[in-house]
A and B are shown apart, each in its own frame.
Chain A
Amino acid sequence: MSDEKPFVHPYIPNSVPEVKARMLREIGVKSVDELYADIPERLRFRGRMNLPEPLTSESSLKRHVEAVLSKNRSAAECLCFLGGGCWPHYVPAVCDEVNRRSEFLTAYAGEPYEDHGRFQALFEYESLMAELLDMDVVNVPTFDWCQAASTSVRMAGRITKRDEVLVAGTTGPDRLLTMKNYCRGVMTVTTVAHDPETGRMDLDDLAAKFTDRTAAVYFENPSYLGFLETEGRRIADLAHGRGGLCIVGADPSSLGVLEPPSRYGADIVCGDIQPLGIHMNFGGGQAGFIATRDEERFVMEYPSRLFGIARTSVPGEYGFGDVAYDRTSFGVREKGKEFVGTATALWGITAGVYLALMGPRGMADLGQVILQRSQYAMKRIAGLPGVKAPRFRGPHFKEFVVDFSGSGKTVAAVNQALLERGIFGGRDLSIDFPGLAGCALYCVTEIHAAGDIDRLVLSLEEVLR
């Protein structure tokens, strides 16, 4: 293709031969290859990387990638009732407008001087989340809820100097797997039984398992299976009574209507901010928060960046910077708290924009309409023959388990038939919860109008007939 013509690519300005020659002269070498003199021949790769012929023109590249993407059928083309850790919510246009700005999108680890905006926006994110959670410290976000929960557990281990965590048996499966891997070799993760009727934690089992090795108890509210844990206060009291901590995973989209866990005894609260103005992105929109009280014993155990406000040399001017930087691995390597690095800052900025747009009334309205529409969906689905919804007794938020086991159809068969009708049915729970064979996890949010729910119910009616 380009045997004679030099390879000049729009992304590589100095691929122009004349420029290259000038720079080589300046360095005092004849060829770029000389610059690799330190790499011995035995380590040189002399073969060709077997890569496709490049699409160097932007138009052909775009056409190719769009053709591949067109094989997808997105949630925008269908009705999506999938949740389970990534949820379909409305994304305000302003959220996209801000996170697509070059100034934020292409910045990295600048100083507070030329990157004042990033520091202020992330300080504001921390502050807005702090109001939602009613806690005084929130981190610059980590990878996702899985990591936030894992780090919360490890923080509890360091704070209490204990090496076991008790985890609700209904914890999200990805979170449980991540936590187990993250703790392996250092802490043990033990699950606590739950009431088969309500899904709530079995307090007798918790009491029996809570020993002087137990650093903390972890549960989610709303749970992965959608029901609310109504005994949060008793769980927290039990943990505290035995010298442990209480960690709660929470869905921020619920906190306009639900009491924040800090008010029923949680010491550490964690979760995912994807519901706050971030597209699902095939699971790429996750970002994890961790919140605690403003006590040194908690703050000093965070691995994350924590941006704080400060004075500057000019009176009346706000400055920002890193709080307690020397606890991080950037400062002291393996002596630091876990590790810190690139995570999900842009999603933190985005969630801040979302909370600023929503305000207290927006978050209350959001929580209420999710409660109403999910209750409506449960009520209507429960009317179908052979179907039980919700599978667990008690209040729910956003998600609920539908039990198809009495319908004579498997979840896989139901979902296949729904898909043919342009509907993504709920996650098949028999994959991760053997006790819930024939059950599916449905998610209803503010994007699901009554008509969408009616369409789901009509389709289910057809499918189950």
Chain B
Amino acid sequence: MRVRAFHQAKWDEEVIFELSTPGERGILVPPAEKAVSDAVGDGISAVPEALRRKTPPALPEISQMRVLKHYLRLSQENLGADLNVDIGQGTCTVKYSPKVNDVLAASSKAAELHPLQDESTVQGALEIFHGLDLFLREVSGLDRFSFQPASGSAAILAMVSIIQAWHESRGEGGTRDEIITTIFSHPSDAAAAAVKGFKVITIHQNEDGLPDLEALKKAVSGRTAGALITNPEDTGIFNPKIDEITALVRRAGGLCGYDQANANGILGVTRAREAGFDMCFFNLHKTFGTPHGCGGPACGALGVTARLADFLPVPVVDRAADGRYVLRYDLARTIGKIRSFHGVFPAVLKAYAWVMSLGEEGLREVANVAVLNNNYILSKVKKIRGASAPFAPGRHRIEQVRYSWEKLHADTGVTTEDVTLRMADFGFHLWSSHHPFIVPEPFTIEPTESYSKAEIDEYLAALEKIAEEAYTDPAKVKGAPYNSVVHRIDPGWFDDPAQWAITWRAYLKKHGHEKIR
């Protein structure tokens, strides 16, 4: 399999402030009409002197085409999934986001809606909220969804908030102060629990790579408020004892929240309800095909069982007896709000359209092919020199695998980071994985259903080539990237308060005497 003779666009583009020419304009604002200025004057005189801006903001002055060109050049220096075989960001589920869904969301019937419009004027939008709610009830087995959380982490925060409110409603708010999670669950499962003041207990993995059930038994007590768990975890290993975990926690009086940010491999195969969860959430920008947008806008669709429905953030969408869709704010024990208004409507709309295109058979096919692709890659990566798949030898994985370059590193000194930088030379992205760094020199591949066998083979060929290079010419790998926009970044400033520069003005203040360019 051939690797591509790739070279990313390199524009050597200025930082936008360097494009400024005093007097240029990028866009004009309509001036007040004569009738208006005759009636009220310049408008500014009504503002007390102390509140009037004295010096204009030092924004750049740039004509329209140059602004456009600047951002188009930057866009060419970015590798979206539409141009990439984006399987190297394991856990992120970077799949195809259908263009037609973007077209629909851009229509003025969606984009130009104000969230506080009269319900009679947004029946279509509310129908879509309600429709996706019904779809996700089927996928999860749970009873009601809220689309207010604007990401997976926000949905985790909402689950923690419900856990907190639930125990308070039962007079146990003061005593149940611990939340259990596992080390291979997303970092936000631990972090969002801490935001609400819970003590976090983290269960580590056993030799199979699964949460240690004995440790969990010891951790559960009358102080257990709940548990937040991913399954399959970042390792891609399905935990067959997940229902034992949820039963343990629930018997102790805790609630169980299922982090299904990524449910891509198990759609229609196994559900939150059968596994004993009280809550779950799906990232619409992962499993349900809405675009990732460089990191949002997004939606963490939050589902709960009927007994928790009254705790959801408000409003929720209901269908009244007469068929009209209504926004309901009267939930008795609502946690209030997690975000303004109703959530990220474009994401809800795109996910609705995605499900409508696939249906029940299609959703199952998504899962089946995602799992097929993943195990195909597993069978190939294991044969790459220096690579391995820790834990659960011989077992199949669900939608992703956390691999390791431990041997490659020991043999050649080449690290995961070196490999990721070299991958950029072939037009690919390989991610170094987030916490926990238990697997040495980790990398995580999640192919989803979106990429063809030929594309997957090309990606694998690049990995194989780089591994070969590591053994024959490690300096080559360590000098990468060569065909990317930039070369090795000097991280020296990033952790030094005297040198870090988070804005251009801070950069000029701190480094103006010795600028980069």
Contact = CB atoms under 8 A, between A and B. Distances in A.
Given A368-B42, A376-B39, A344 B150 contact: yes
A255 B285 CA distance: 33
B315 to A, nearest CB: 11
B296 A312 contact: no
Contact of B271 (A45, A145, A349): A45
Contacts of B340: 85-86, 144-146, 174-175, 178, 283, 286
B44 A136 contact: no
A53 to B, nearest CB: 6
**Residue among B64, B111, B293, B484 with the most chain A CB within 10 A?**
B293
A128 B355 contact: no
Given A23-B373, A51-B135, A109-B92, A356 B67 contact: yes
A197 interface: no
B112 interface: yes
Interface stretch (B211-219, B235-243, B465-473): B235-243
Interface stretch (A207-215, A240-248, A303-311, A401-409): A303-311
A23 B337 CA distance: 47
Contact of B161 (A128, A184, A230, A338): A184
Contacts of B186: 341
B429 A110 contact: yes
**Residue among A20, A90, A283 with the most chain B CB within 10 A?**
A283
Interface in A68-118: 68-78, 80, 82, 84-86, 88, 90, 92, 94, 96-118
Nearest to A252: B57
Contacts of B131: 68
A308 B337 contact: no
Contacts of B81: 106-108
Contacts of A371: 43-44, 46-47
Interface string B139-159: 101000000001111101100
Given A186-B196, A257-B47, A299-B502, A11 B358 contact: yes
A196 B27 CA distance: 40
A30 interface: no
A352 B353 CA distance: 30
Given A51-B135, A108-B292, A376-B36, A74 B113 contact: yes
Interface residues of A, number: 218
Contacts of B76: 103, 117
**Residue among A35, A284, A321 with the most chain B CB within 10 A?**
A284
B67 A26 contact: no
A175 B340 CA distance: 7
A395 B435 contact: no
Contacts of A147: 150, 154, 339
**Residue among A56, A130, A310 with the most chain B CB within 10 A?**
A310
Given A51-B360, A336-B191, A342-B298, A105 B293 contact: yes
B395 A284 contact: no
Interface in A365-423: 365-373, 375-376, 379-380, 395, 397, 415-416, 419
Given A110-B89, A174-B337, A395-B47, A339 B108 contact: no
A257 B44 contact: yes
Interface stretch (B98-106, B250-258, B302-310, B402-410): B98-106
Interface string A216-252: 0000000000001010110000000000000000000
B79 A103 contact: yes
Interface in A55-70: 55-56, 58, 61-62, 64-66, 68-70
Contacts of B242: 43
A465 interface: no
Interface in B233-279: 237-238, 240, 242-243, 266, 268-271, 274-275
A27 B35 CA distance: 76
Contacts of B347: 284
Contact of B67 (A65, A74, A353, A427): A353
A331 to B, nearest CB: 7
12 contacts: A11-B96, A26-B379, A66-B104, A69-B109, A106-B86, A178-B336, A282-B110, A284-B346, A311-B493, A321-B489, A330-B187, A360-B59
Return the 6 tightest CB-CB contacts between A and B, nearest first: A54-B359, A283-B341, A283-B115, A371-B43, A357-B26, A117-B78
Given A127-B503, A368-B32, 10 more contacts: A11-B450, A38-B396, A68-B131, A72-B124, A107-B81, A123-B15, A178-B338, A299-B497, A336-B191, A419-B121
